[in-house]
């Protein structure tokens, strides 16, 4: 039956009607399962089953690893289990900074829950994603990565969540460096410009804007101090920072101008002994990979937190 006749109230054959009703009921049941699971801080049964099946080898494993990573994973006793995700759509009307920290925090707890469900020891290649089209002061905070098991180890109650790709994860482990998780530092602060001098509009000369500069420096340093505190709970170092900072001027009618400085920094926490040696020699090579080569410099997309992956013409 065409959409037009449905719209005009035409009758639907009973078989189609039953199928449609069954699909509607199934969709509603899934929604209810999600609602209850998220409220209780656990996973819906069907997600747990998918992850358990993948873990037991009853269904194909699903991995974001490249073939090169798969090769290294195999030689180093890592087995991919499943692609795991953590999603939280968070509204930050009261505080952008705290909201972003809370959003990533919830996503982290959820990806960890999925990793636990498939009996993983670690999640590698964790990418930070946001869906296009954030609504007002709210945004999607999503983490996607590959859960892996290290052969010979029992499932971990607290799997490691690493933003580094599998290649780097294995290399780090080999050198006695254990990526243990993510650390977040976030700060925001307002400053009032009662004398209207902070912005430098009073002078035609070159002039360092000291008060505003010091304010912005303080916000950044506090965010980095938060990052350090968060990292100290988990390990003794942070690698691969993602930073995002903004300074915004707000003009208010019949009141002094205000500036808002906000800064968020996220990194991979590692645990390592100071001064450990690197057991490998380094060979110089001519690289046969094309533009994508990680050897040619340029950051990987793994740490690109505030970009969606939507591009014109892409699948």
Partner 1 sequence: MADATDIPQHALERMKGLRGEGHAGGVFTSDFSVNEFLLVRKAGFEPVGLCVGSCIYHLGIQYGAWSKNQEMDVLSQAMYQARELAMARMREEAADMGADGVVGVRLTVKRLEWDEHVLEFVAIGTGVVHAKGHTTFKGPKGQPFTSDLSGQDFWTLLHAGYRPLEMVMGSCVYHVAHRGMMKSMGSVGQNVELTNFSQALYDAREIAMERMQQEAADAGAEGVVGVDLHEGSHNWQPHIIEFFAVGTAVLPISTELDASTIPDPQLVLSVNS
206 vs 284, beta carbon nearer partner 1: 284
Closer residue to partner 1, CB minimum distance, 120 or 212? 120
- What x/- string results for residues 6 through 45 when contact with partner 1 is judged by CB under 8 A? -----------------x---x--xx--xx--xx------
Which residues in 55-84 contact partner 1 (CB under 8 A)?
A: 59-68, 70-72, 74-75, 77, 80, 83
Number of residues in contact with partner 1 under rule CB under 8 A: 79
Which one, 129 or 224, has the nearer CB to partner 1? 129
Q: What is the Cα–Cα distance from 130 to 225, expressed in whole angstroms?
A: 26
Among 55, 121, 142, 302, binds partner 1 (CB under 8 A): 142
Residue 48 in the binding site for partner 1 (CB under 8 A): no
Give the separation between CA 256 and CA 254, rounded to whole angstroms. Answer: 7
Among 106, 163, 242, 302, binds partner 1 (CB under 8 A): 106
| Residue list 229-258, contact with partner 1 (CB under 8 A) | none
CA angle 193, 98, 183 (to 5 degrees): 120
Q: Helix crossing, 14-40 with 45-55: angle to 10°?
A: 80
Task: Note whether 293 binds partner 1 by CB under 8 A.
Answer: yes
Binding mask 153-192 toward partner 1 (x if CB under 8 A, else -) reads ------------------x---------------------
The answer to whether 78 and 174 have CB atoms below 8 angstroms apart is no
Closest CA to 271 of 234, 300, 216: 234
Q: Does 260 bind partner 1 (CB under 8 A)?
A: no
In the complex with partner 1, which residue's Cβ is closer, 4 or 208? 4
The reply to whether 90 sits near partner 1 by the rule CB under 8 A is yes
Alpha carbon distances (Å) from 118 to 51, 72, 106, 153, 170? 5, 21, 19, 14, 20
Burial of 299 (0-12, 13-18, 19+ CB in 10 A): exposed
- 295: which DSSP letter? G
Q: Is 194:211 a contact under the CB 8 Å cutoff?
A: no
């Amino acid at each position: 039956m065409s959409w037009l006749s449905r719209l005009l109230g035409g009758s639907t054959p009973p078989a189609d009607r039953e199928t449609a009703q069954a699909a509607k009921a199934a969709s509603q049941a899934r929604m209810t399962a999600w609602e209850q699971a998220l409220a209780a801080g656990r996973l819906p049964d069907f997600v747990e089953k998918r992850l358990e099946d993948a873990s037991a080898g009853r269904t194909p494993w699903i991995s974001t690893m490249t073939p090169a990573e798969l090769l290294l994973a195999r030689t180093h006793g890592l087995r991919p289990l499943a692609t795991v995700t953590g999603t939280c759509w968070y509204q930050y009307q009261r505080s952008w900074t705290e909201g972003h920290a809370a959003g990533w925090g919830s996503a982290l707890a959820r990806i960890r829950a999925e990793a636990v469900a498939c009996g993983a020891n670690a999640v590698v290649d964790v990418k930070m994603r946001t869906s296009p089209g954030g609504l007002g002061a709210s945004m999607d905070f999503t983490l996607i990565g590959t859960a892996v098991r290290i052969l010979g180890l029992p499932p971990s109650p607290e799997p490691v969540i690493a933003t580094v790709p599998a290649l780097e994860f294995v290399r780090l482990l080999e050198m006695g460096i254990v990526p243990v998780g993510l650390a977040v530092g976030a700060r925001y602060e307002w400053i009032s410009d009662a004398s209207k001098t902070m912005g430098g509009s009073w002078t035609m000369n070159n002039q360092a804007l000291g008060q505003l500069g010091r304010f912005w420096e303080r916000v950044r340093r506090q965010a980095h101090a938060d990052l350090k505190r968060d990292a100290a709970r988990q390990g003794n170092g942070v690698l691969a920072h993602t930073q995002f900072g903004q300074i915004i001027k707000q003009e208010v009618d019949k009141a002094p101008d205000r500036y808002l400085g906000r800064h968020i920094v996220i990194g991979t926490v590692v645990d390592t002994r100071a001064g450990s040696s690197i057991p490998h020699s380094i060979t110089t090579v001519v690289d046969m990979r094309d533009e994508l080569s990680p050897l040619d410099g340029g950051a990987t997309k793994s740490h690109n937190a505030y970009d969606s992956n939507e591009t014109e013409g892409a699948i």
